[in-house]
Structures are given as structure tokens and as C-alpha cells.
Structure 1
């Protein structure tokens, strides 16, 4: 049995409030709040100018490709872009090299769900302290 504070309402609703489906502005505001990890009530305390900027920035980022970090209109000549707006450039990242080498060392015996993250090397940190 779940205990709750006497002033808390029980959450019995199983589907989202109808307002969320009907109010596109509220849905967008909640997306922005999720991105900033703030409650909607805090977002509403922001000035109208700051809220507008956050919403427009969110919409702009939503149009950005997560893979290449460009937007379609940057490439589309009918929208003021250019077919050759960007050029590819090779770069080397030591962190990516280390991560890829460690990823390659994962074997089936490690099990499912194993992935690689980079963590500070404590020996190097102590030597530089």
C-alpha cells in the first residue's frame, strides 16, 4: 500500500488530461520545461520575452538534425540556404579513439547492455595535482 501526505491528491487518472492533447501551446511549454528540467510553474514566472526566446530556441533546436547538427533550411536554396552550405572535414578526437578501442574490447561474456563511458584517469589526476 502506498502512503501519501494527507494534503496530496491521489493520482487515479490513467490518461493525460484532455487539455494536453488540445492545447498545443501548453504541450510546447512542457517540452521546453522538460528540456530545461524545470517545473511549468517556474517557466511561467519568467518574463514573456524570456519564455518566447526559450520556445523559439527549442523549436529551432527541434529542426536541427541530431546526427550532423544542421537544419534543412540551411541546405534548401528555396529557403535561402545553399546546396554546399557546409563542407566535410576530418577531425581526430583522442576521447573518441579511446572510447572506440574500449568498445571493441567488449566480448559476449560481458553480457547485454554493456557500453563505454569515459571517466577521468585517477593516476593522471593525482600526477597533475
Structure 2
């Protein structure tokens, strides 16, 4: 089985006129994948340095807001010496 597409060699027509392929090709747009690719491209362009190993992932907006609030809280505590 191909690790990338998940099909088996025998699933495909190997020249037999009466055999149909088990799969058809379709093109779909995934907005999530598009957003990730856009951010990866921006990071590579703007960082000006190696971005290998840098991961871009989607998380729920509420989770991202909670992370940002926690970061701001910690920064405020550090500024006030708490």
C-alpha cells in the first residue's frame, strides 16, 4: 500500500480493457489547508531564516484566545515583579 495515497498497486488498471480503476481523482479545496499553507509561506518569506521544523497548526479560536490571555497575564506579572 502506498503510504501517501493509501491505494494498492492492484487497485489500478494495468492495461486490461475491461478493468475499471477502483478510484477516481477529485480536487477539493480545504480552507484549513489553504490557511496553513499561506501562513507557512508568510513565515518562510518574513522570517528570513530557516523554518525547518516549524509547525503551523489550527486550534480552536477560544483556545487561542485563552493562550493569549495567559501570555498577557504572565507578562503583566513579570513587569510588576509578582
Interval containing the TM-score (normalised by the shorter chain): 0.5 to 0.7
How far apart are residue 71 of structure 1 and its match? 0.8
Q: Tell me which residue corresponds to 1:91.
A: 28
Highest RCO, 1 vs 2 (Cα 8 Å, sep ≥ 6): 2
1:119 aligns with 2:59: yes
How far apart are residue 83 of structure 1 and its match? 5.7
TM-score in terms of structure 1 length: 0.36
Name whichever structure is richer in helix by fraction: 1
How far apart are residue 113 of structure 1 and its match? 2.1
TM-score in terms of structure 2 length: 0.52
Q: CA RMSD in A?
A: 3.1
2 CA distance for matches of 1:111 and 1:103? 9
Question: Tell me, which stretches of 5 or more residues in structure 1 are unaligned?
Answer: 1-63
1 CA distance for matches of 2:51 and 2:3? 29
Q: Relative to 1, partners in 2 of residues 1:103 and 1:75: Cα closer, same or farther, differing over 3 Å? A: same
1 CA distance for matches of 2:49 and 2:25? 38
